[in-house]
Chains A and B, each alone.
Chain A
Amino acid sequence: MLALNMRTLRGTILWIAVAALGAAAFAVLALSRGESINAAWILVAGVASYVIGYRFYSRYLALKVFGLDDRRATPAERLNNGRDFVPTNKWVLYGHHFAAIAGAGPLIGPMLAAQFGYLPGTLWLIAGVVVGGAVQDFVILFASMRRNGKSLGQMAKEEVNSVAGMAAMVAILAIMIILLAVLALVVVNALRASPWGLFIIASTIPIAMLMGLWMRNIRPGRVLEASAIGIVLLLTALVAGRWVAQDPTWSRWFTWSSIGLSWAIIGYGFVAAALPVWLLLSPRGYLSTFLKIGTILTLAVAILLVLPQTRLPALTQFVDGTGPVFSGKVFPFAFITIACGAISGFHALVASGTTPKMVMHESEARMIGYGGMLMESFVGLMAMIAAATLEPAVYFAMNVPAGTLGPTAETAARAIAHWGFTLHPGQMEALARQMGEATLLSRTGGAPSLAVGMASILGKVVHGSGLALWYHFAIMFEALFILTTVDAGTRVGRFMLQELGGHLWEPFGRTSWYPSVLLSSALVVAGWGYFLYQGVVDPLGGINSLWPLFGIANQLLAAVALCVGTTILIKMGKARAAWVTIVPLVWLVAVTLTAGCEKVFAADPRLGFLSHARSVAPDAPNAARLVFNDRLDAVLALVFMAVVLVVIVASAREWWLVLSRRKAPVVNEAPFVETAYAAGD
């Protein structure tokens, strides 16, 4: 008894210490103005919040709200088929789940949102994940696990109604199209006029094919062997790229314009989605997963070793909405720009995909669902640190489109001086030379500036050597897994389109009928390819209109997931605890509807689509197309908002019916079966 009390006391003291440390870190973040702070404070504030959120809030969710029960056999145990339903060790599943949710999103969002300074994004990454994102992932993982691994769309249909189910499916397809377009645009901006980068990325195609042949014909199914070969070849290509960039003939071959690159990616997306998966899609997936995990671990270790100082201010004057990277005030646009890392609706697809079929014990859903998302937020913080260590003038010189900066370093320096930052003569040229690039001016999209930030942090570990190599390593890793998302996403989008189209015309839905495969692949590629091309020729740089659309779509999908989660909690008789999903839902709806309305109707032509359409001079080149694109973007934003309103109204109706006892609260959980595992396994 006494020993127990001692342990409780020690625990209490420990948690008070963690809380005090976190509070101290937040105080440093909040109180330092105009001076540089150490990135360690950002990490401490984040990690202290994560462990407190995990220890207390996720425990409350697991025990009091969801009622996770280790005596209940999970689908992995009951339906074990050695394939998708496999009871998996929780640490292994944590890695698997994290590799599926993390990608370019949590790296690029914070980099763009850094135009407000590092503080708003940092606070949102930390608070958003603890109260919102991690709760969303956890509730959907829990709900799907109790329903034999049903998808978000199926749950929306069964728990809310078929209108909500249909709306969710349309929302998923639409967000997919915008996501692929904006990610492809990031790659185009990173590889434009960069023979070194393009050479590496181009060589991933034959490398992946070689891996595919190895795994199919030479050593069937030996993924690890093939991946080891692939990684060695990839690193060889990384080093060889320098030689390609320095050779006048070869570098001409690999120097492409944005328009040429966008057509190449569109063609690549179509071919990759139509080729047999063993040849390209599957091996590329492995290559990119290994690289993703390896790079994120390397970056984390490097940041901990270097503990860089911030150079970007905590807050910039652009919180007022005059930002040159993208338009809009800090509310709501910081919360739209950083979706992945704080709360990302896309995760609901993973949490209702492969993961729920692999959980061994119910209680482990807490670590995997809630804990997995905390790790993604940590990745977001690392990206924010990489942004914060850039000199402000360099950050803006790289991330502001040429339409605002002008064509030369001199015009850029004048524009940047106007915002109160100093770009020294020759500074950008010197930086570009160091990084092995022709120019780093107006390399928008976040990837190049992230690569510069990463290169300077990683370069410090080895005392400043090999910056160009690190820069291209970072570009390689971003472009590789973005292109993997593009080709895999095109295929997934094709299946969604076929499922939807199959309702209208049955043969279109046959997933192995070749004419339908080609037609549906072409439609999906044409969908994102159109937005990509539009972004490339957009004088404001494309990211300005596409990234907010993507953020709005992703957050609206999160709202759909939280509606489904709330409905399930209310039907479980947990209405009094349903605030856990309602609070983030209300916040998201407020943020996304405000942002959506501003993007459509704002009077400032840099912000509002419709006012921009009105501001286009009729005799401007491509005037008709610019106006059409603005109106299309406006319609798309309105459709997103309408879809989410449909889901909210349908859900609220269901809540009212259940709470007013007009409808019996039926939960569609799989029946309870007692586990055969001995306790404590």
Chain B
Amino acid sequence: MRRATDVPGIQGVAVRRRVGARWSAVSRARRALRGVLSAVRQIVGAPDYQRYLEHHAARHPGRAPLSARDFYADFLRWQFGSGGPTRCC
């Protein structure tokens, strides 16, 4: 069941906002950088392990997620399993 409060953030996963939470400038900058890097990954079609972990924790709680190495191997199998990403000329 999805709740309307699970607003998709830039990483495509639910971002929950804590009301009244205070962020220091450093952690705000770090969060912004993470958002930018995640956007860059999506633009070039790169895997995003952090996003996978968040997705896994939200959708399949209780099951152990894949290790970074296995996740990458699995990603390649999926991405190239039916030929590869279609790119134009």
Contact = CB atoms under 8 A, between A and B. Distances in A.
Please indicate whether A and B come from the same complex rather than being unrelated chains.
yes
B41 interface: yes
Contacts of B82: 495, 511
Contacts of B13: 82
15 contacts: A100-B85, A103-B89, A104-B89, A215-B72, A216-B73, A220-B72, A224-B41, A278-B76, A281-B80, A289-B44, A347-B88, A353-B85, A494-B83, A495-B84, A511-B82
B76 A282 contact: yes
Nearest to B11: A89
A290 B80 CA distance: 20
Contacts of A92: 10, 39, 42-43
Interface centre among B42, B46, B49, B67 (most CB of A within 10 A): B46
Nearest to B80: A277
Nearest to A89: B10
Nearest to B45: A96
Contact of B89 (A105, A285, A491, A492): A105
Given A88-B42, A282-B79, A354 B85 contact: yes
B87 A223 contact: no
Nearest to A290: B44
Interface stretch (A528-536, A574-582, A673-681): A673-681
B52 A82 contact: yes
A221 B39 contact: no
Contacts of B46: 223-224, 286
Interface of B: 2-4, 7-8, 10, 12-13, 37, 39-47, 49, 51-52, 55-56, 59, 67-69, 71-73, 75-76, 78-89
Contact of A221 (B8, B37, B59, B71): B71
Nearest to A681: B7
A223 B41 contact: yes
Given A82-B52, A92-B39, A96-B45, A491 B80 contact: yes
Nearest to B78: A83
Contacts of B69: 216, 220-221
B87 A488 contact: yes
B85 A488 contact: yes
- Prevailing SS type, chain A contact patch: helix
A484 B89 CA distance: 10
A56 B3 CA distance: 36
Contacts of A677: 4, 7-8
Contacts of B37: 224
B12 A86 contact: yes
A84 B85 CA distance: 11
Given A224-B40, A286-B46, A277 B12 contact: no
A183 B68 CA distance: 36
Nearest to A498: B83
B49 to A, nearest CB: 5
Interface of A: 80, 82-84, 86-89, 91-93, 95-96, 99-105, 179, 183, 215-216, 220-221, 223-224, 227, 277-278, 281-282, 285-286, 289-290, 293, 340, 344, 346-347, 349-350, 353-354, 360, 484-485, 488-489, 491-492, 494-496, 511, 554, 676-678, 681
Nearest 5 CB-CB pairs, A to B? A82-B55, A495-B83, A223-B46, A221-B72, A105-B89
B2 to A, nearest CB: 4
Given A277-B80, A340-B88, A347-B88, A99 B43 contact: yes
Given A88-B12, A103-B87, 9 more contacts: A87-B12, A89-B12, A93-B42, A99-B44, A221-B75, A344-B88, A346-B88, A349-B88, A485-B89
A484 B87 contact: yes
Contact of B68 (A221, A282, A484): A221
A93 B40 CA distance: 10
Nearest to B56: A82
A601 to B, nearest CB: 28
A216 B44 contact: no
B87 A485 contact: yes
A681 B81 CA distance: 34
A116 B2 CA distance: 58
A224 B41 CA distance: 7
Contacts of A87: 8, 12
